[in-house]
Chains A and B, each alone.
Chain A
Amino acid sequence: MYARVGAAILAALAEVGEVSLFGLRALREALLPPYEFGEVIRHVYEIGWKSAPLIALSGFAIGIVLSMHTRASLERFGAEAMIPAGLAIALIRETGPLVTGLLVSGRVGAGIGAELGAMKVTEQIDALEASAVDSFKYLAVTRIIACIIAMPMLTLIMDFCGIVGGYLAESTISGMSWQLYFQRAFSLVEFNDFIPATMKTAVFGMIIGTIASYLGFSTTQGTEGVGRTSTRSVVLASMMIIVSNVVLVKLIFFLFPATG
């Protein structure tokens, strides 16, 4: 039994190592010509723009719920005036980036994994290579870069819609004006709250793109394999986002002490 557990742990570590090498290779290749700008832009549109409605709607709903919870907590201390600021800080520092990461890993991670997996099992990746096209660069690097670019933008959308949702909930209950709400919301938000938390989502983008592309390129066993790749892409990317978030938050506290 120990041997089996040990073998499973070693296999998992080996896979983490392979994914890491895959990601590092992607970063290196991204810096070397030829550059696939057209494909990157196309994927930013596919990954970013097409995810925007999902992110906006989710942000809006999360804003409403956060506002209601914040009110329930702060009301006990007679600190209702702090509701906008509390909501904005919670959303911008943590909820917005993390939820955006998880939503994108579900929508985009599954999509990339399934698309590349299907291309692998139908020999389309081989056909690209046979056409003298670097399939790794054309398919994986472009998607990883697009994820890195799209994630901070989607996080901004999530944050903005969350704050708007919070305002609607708050104005419905207390009748607070939007000028006052936004003034209070941003009264405690500083550069150190906003930039590091938003930029860490670029790392989430790297994780989503790398894991989904790696699994797509490694797909075997036909359509069953494609389904498995799609599921594993979401599970592994979501898990790695949550785990890496711990490290990133610690790193942000270290680099930007004012946020701690």
Chain B
Amino acid sequence: MTAENDVAIRLDGVSKAFGALKVLDNVTLDIKGGTAFCLLGRSGTGKSVTLKHIIGLLKPDSGHVLVHGKKIDELKRQELSEVRRSMGFLFQNAALFDSISVGENVAFPMRRHTDWDEAKIREVSKAKLADVGLEKDYDKMPGDLSGGMKKRAGLARAMALDPEILLVDEPSAGLDPITAGEIDDLLVELKKKGTTLVVVTHNIPSARHIGDELAMLHEGKLIAQGTAAELDRSEHELVRAFMRSEGAG
């Protein structure tokens, strides 16, 4: 167990079902602040659902989710908003607002939560887009971007307010290997600056590169947690097989 003060995110016996389908089954884990935690697992094992619990988009049927010691699932609307301001979320399909430009997507959190003037908002938005290689695409509409570009724009929006915690759902899905590597490097840089990363990925080389700690979900249960080396030696054949794979995306 991680020292109490170091824990940024804690899932305490979290279970969640959608109808008869149990997606998370008594999941308990701690994520240290300033580290990168990679959540692995086959499709449909509850990884994205876990991220949505952490940011309070879903509430557990039982158990609790704590962020910096606050029970997310018990917070009132205003308190939840305050916690969410310290977090960024890259959705699996980017979820860009399709009625405004890419630049305005990135500027959106700044317009809502800062009193910066227009010039500064534009400058910071452009810088965030530059971080993901989209500096020339500020005025494009999301519909004009490829899947990989949308993903990068979504990451730029998630980073807009320099969140303490960044939740990233499959950052390299749909990206070419070079861009995927650049995104991985960017995430490592963010970690070095003290950002807590929770990354859902199928990409094992990427997880090895980014993650300080890895965990694997299978049929709603956490079946392994530790460093990449520890997961390589897991007693679970499925975990070892997963770690041996080079699954991209």
- Residues in chain A within 8 A of chain B (CB atoms): 115, 118-119, 122-124, 126-134
In-complex Cβ contact of B112 among A118, A119, A129, A131 (8 A)? A131
Distance from A126 Cβ to chain B, minimum over Cβ atoms (Å): 5
B57 touches A134 (CB 8 A): no
**Cα A111 to Cα B229 with chains together (Å):** 53
* In the assembled complex, B93 has its CB within 8 A of some CB on chain A: yes
* In the assembled complex, B98 has its CB within 8 A of some CB on chain A: yes
11 of the cross-chain contacts (CB-CB < 8 Å) are: A115-B99, A118-B98, A124-B95, A126-B57, A126-B95, A128-B97, A129-B56, A130-B55, A132-B82, A133-B112, A134-B77
Question: In the complex, what residues of B have CB within 8 A of residue A119's CB?
Answer: 97
* In the assembled complex, B109 has its CB within 8 A of some CB on chain A: yes
* In the assembled complex, B168 has its CB within 8 A of some CB on chain A: no
Distance from A94 Cβ to chain B, minimum over Cβ atoms (Å): 36
Q: Which applies to chain A's interface (DSSP): helix, strand, loop or mixed?
A: helix
Provided the pairs A130-B55, A130-B89 are in contact, do residues A123 and B112 lie with their beta carbons within 8 angstroms?
Answer: no
In-complex Cβ contact of B91 among A118, A126, A133 (8 A)? A126
* In the assembled complex, B242 has its CB within 8 A of some CB on chain A: no
Question: In the complex, what residues of B have CB within 8 A of residue A132's CB?
Answer: 81-82, 84-85, 109, 112-113
**Cα A198 to Cα B241 with chains together (Å):** 70
B84 touches A131 (CB 8 A): yes
In chain B, positions 46-67 with a C-beta closer than 8 Å to chain A are 52, 55-57
Distance from B118 Cβ to chain A, minimum over Cβ atoms (Å): 14
Question: In the complex, what residues of B have CB within 8 A of residue A115's CB?
Answer: 99
In chain B, positions 18-57 with a C-beta closer than 8 Å to chain A are 52, 55-57
Question: In the complex, what residues of A have CB within 8 A of residue B98's CB?
Answer: 118, 122, 124
CB closest chain-B residue, reference A134 = B77
* In the assembled complex, B216 has its CB within 8 A of some CB on chain A: no
Q: How large is the interface on B (under 10, 10 to 19, 20 to 34, 35 or more residues)?
A: 20 to 34
* In the assembled complex, B87 has its CB within 8 A of some CB on chain A: yes
**Cα A119 to Cα B142 with chains together (Å):** 13
Question: In the complex, what residues of B have CB within 8 A of residue A126's CB?
Answer: 52, 57, 91, 95
Distance from B104 Cβ to chain A, minimum over Cβ atoms (Å): 13
CB closest chain-A residue, reference B48 = A123
In chain B, positions 89-136 with a C-beta closer than 8 Å to chain A are 89, 91-93, 95-99, 108-109, 112-113
Distance from B163 Cβ to chain A, minimum over Cβ atoms (Å): 10
Provided the pairs A124-B97, A124-B98, A126-B52 are in contact, do residues A131 and B91 lie with their beta carbons within 8 angstroms?
Answer: no
**Cα A118 to Cα B97 with chains together (Å):** 11
Provided the pairs A132-B112, A134-B77 are in contact, do residues A127 and B95 lie with their beta carbons within 8 angstroms?
Answer: yes
A127 touches B113 (CB 8 A): no
A131 touches B108 (CB 8 A): yes
Question: In the complex, what residues of A have CB within 8 A of residue B93's CB?
Answer: 122-123
Provided the pairs A122-B98, A123-B95 are in contact, do residues A130 and B77 lie with their beta carbons within 8 angstroms?
Answer: no
CB closest chain-A residue, reference B92 = A123
Question: In the complex, what residues of A have CB within 8 A of residue B108's CB?
Answer: 131
In-complex Cβ contact of B57 among A122, A124, A129 (8 A)? A129
In-complex Cβ contact of A123 among B56, B87, B91, B113 (8 A)? B91
In-complex Cβ contact of A129 among B84, B99, B109, B113 (8 A)? B84
Question: In the complex, what residues of B have CB within 8 A of residue A118's CB?
Answer: 98
**Cα A21 to Cα B177 with chains together (Å):** 50
